[in-house]
Chains A and B, each alone.
Chain A
Amino acid sequence: MTDLTHLSIADARDLLKKGELTARELTEAHIAAVEAADALNAYVAKTPELALEMADKADAKIAAGEQKGMTGIPVGIKDLFATKGVHTQACSHILDGFKPEYESTVSQKLWDDGAIMLGKLNMDEFAMGSSNETSFYGPVKNPWRAEGSNRDYVPGGSSGGSVASVAGYCAMGATASDTGGSIRQPAAFTGTFGIKPTYGRCSRYGMVAFASSLDQAGTITRTVRDGAIMLESISGFDAKDSTSVNLPVPNFEAALTGDIRGMRIGIPQEYHLAGMPGEIEALWHQGIEWMKQAGAEVVDINLPHTKYALPTYYIVAPAEASSNLARYDGVRYGLRKNIEGGGLVDMYEATRAAGFGDEVKRRIMIGTYVLSAGYYDAYYLKAQKVRQLIANDFKQAFGKVDAILAPTAPSAAFAFGEKSDDPIAMYLNDVFTVPASLAGLPGSSVPAGLSAEGLPLGLQILGKPWDEETVLKVSGVIEEAAGFSAKPEIWWR
């Protein structure tokens, strides 16, 4: 048999159903692949014993005729989802040793469906980053390298471990989270499929909070079909999250009809950035051609407030983060630094100084400042108003089109250290993904081509609220048309 770690979720599901494969075999192959992939630094905690236990339960379920889409499928869980009794630190030093007494709803749904946990995945600290360089556990390496080069590239962020594990064949799928692009941008950098559903589709219960009005769970897989299967598993109403929305979850896989005839696809004119690499423009143009060939109608649209999305995000997200991260005080969990002879406040200040990394500190400081007396109206309130204008832009556009097509990121993956000294250059990575996050819209990134250097590039599809089905359908058409068959050379095993 071929390498089991290269199977898609859909194919594994079918083999499991036919009895030609057991969850145990599939899990053992993945445990070995995880063990051999330390060079990627994708996993920060491995759970092989637990995985085998879960695999046997999955095999029993399948034997009993109770197989679901994710039954017996080995996955990785981003370190910001609480997993009972297992390492959960959002890759921060300040959560040292934290093993929650509860399970996040997203992971619980996967376990309820019989999926198998391989371990916890590396990420930017508290999901603050676009290159996975801010993790306390060190950077993740992109499985992809430029053609003929030994140089390491970033996997994107913040879901760097999620994409590297899936692109590097050490998970069939991975959970991820998006606050400003943390699913779509790393998916584009690694030739994987990432989908972020509508805000409110997946429960935030048990997700380590970064910016609560933006945080939304999603998935990383190698194919669009796999994304549909896994997203369906983690979606659905949850009374434990007050922003979870009580709507039925469609059969996402059924949306993959390949038929987009007559659909109207919007091309946002403001996404033609000055100075954008020619190959990104060319890929986008190719995507437009694919849409036309598939019988869709391509329509130019305007999203006039696009250029204000990033500055808006960098007020709203740090403001919410400064509030959410106030809970890390050395009292209830994680790290504590005592000062000899010091009082409670000294303990707080020393703990937070030692526990947070530079990027997290910077964002807490910005957030504290923009919320402080005398500045709240000028910064935070202003940003919330501009956020409304950005959401209105999309609402108007979706009066005319069914989906929007754009590049996912303004470049291919970059090398380590290239942008880590300049916060704003790093923030610009998310220029195409942040607007939809601010508006709470569903969006995906589909691998669509290679850069001149041989690194993956992605195209982004955005949909109307609650219309993940159209996002998936259009993604499927791009996947089919692109015929993206390139694979990273396996250098890490």
Chain B
Amino acid sequence: MKISKQVKGKLIIFILCMVMLGLTSPAFAQQKTTVKAMMIGFQMEDWIDPVTGTTFNGFSRMVEKFNAERPNIELKFTSIPWGALIGPYAKTLSALLGGTADVIQTRIVYIQTGQFEPLDEYIEKDNYDLGKLIAHSAKVTRQKVAGDKEAHQYMLPIYADARLIAYDKKIFDDYGVAYLSHKPTMDELREKGTKLAGTNPVTGEKTYGLWFEGNYSAWAFLTYVRAFGGIPILENGSRPNFTSDASLKALRWLYELREKEVIPAKCAAISGDPPGWLSKDNKHAIRLDHNLAITFLAKERGLVERFGVSLNVLNKWGYAGLLGASDVPAGIAKLSENKDAAWEVLKWLLSEEVQRFRFDNNRVFPVLEKEISQWMKEDNLPYADVIAEQMKLGDPLIGNYTKVITEGRMVIRSTISKLLALDITPEEAAEVIQQEIMTKVIL
């Protein structure tokens, strides 16, 4: 069969068109590397604050922006809520072991699985400045795992947290007691707390001097052991040391103040703030180990003048309270096939843009040391300088989150609770904590 020249020409043009079209198809476009990130506590959708009615932007907007700005990477971002009982840690651990995510945020203790990629080469290659992160926060994620001759930077902190001491100035005024100093000591807390417990001379109401969260007491207790000069964990964090003089002093301090009703009985098994706290009806003078939400709540409720904040109790090493920046950091899974792209995502999570977005929209404090007070002041949030200072003072020994601390905290919680119920003596409590950590945690 003969094909006419005209038809032949049309056929060639048609084939050429198809070839051209084929070349422009996605398959020939620049290859996209998919990075899967499994993170914890990111508010993905837009949300409305139920109290103030303010609308906040969801993090999915930032993910869209990331993907639009980087044509060679496709970021698939999953966030697991903090609240779920077995949710975040089980899922992130499964993702780490199963290789189903590239960037994973999870407990710092999972570094010891050996399933995280060392970040040292990437940090060196990009000359990445870890100095911009809160003091010590990156140091505690630098660890040795089995087979390592030297420590490596396996993970990086991606948010910050801290605990400070808050107090109600009105109760201090009613009793004629001087406000807490900027750096209160254990003695000052004991002395002022005792004076502020009893019947308020102005209102006639019963007040308590100190509030202690008995259900979540581990970090506060460790802070006080350190404040009395103790080292609660020995041998690079592998052995407990809770029968020391400092531990006994901390336990006796709590027992004595509880016995005198300076700390209320209900503190034995309580989570969160005392009833009426951060309101005009408050009856608790000093709230120990307060979280950073106070800056938002005091401002929203118009109580900035009434409530003051001080640093947590300093110890002889110059630290105060837990180092809250590194307990749930992020890293790159060893099983990831897209490690370079995953590193880009990790850097992006630590960028000013993302950190600011989360601070403004999710009330998550930035891990960037300089920006904390700057951004707080820009947003007219109170206590900016104290919070920024407290962040830098976090105790790396507590922030190391070794087995003794992360897993031993349940033993500490239950024993301190019993102590606050006056159901056990300080001496017995010290023995129980030591023995139970030895037998239940270090098997």
Do these two chains interact? no
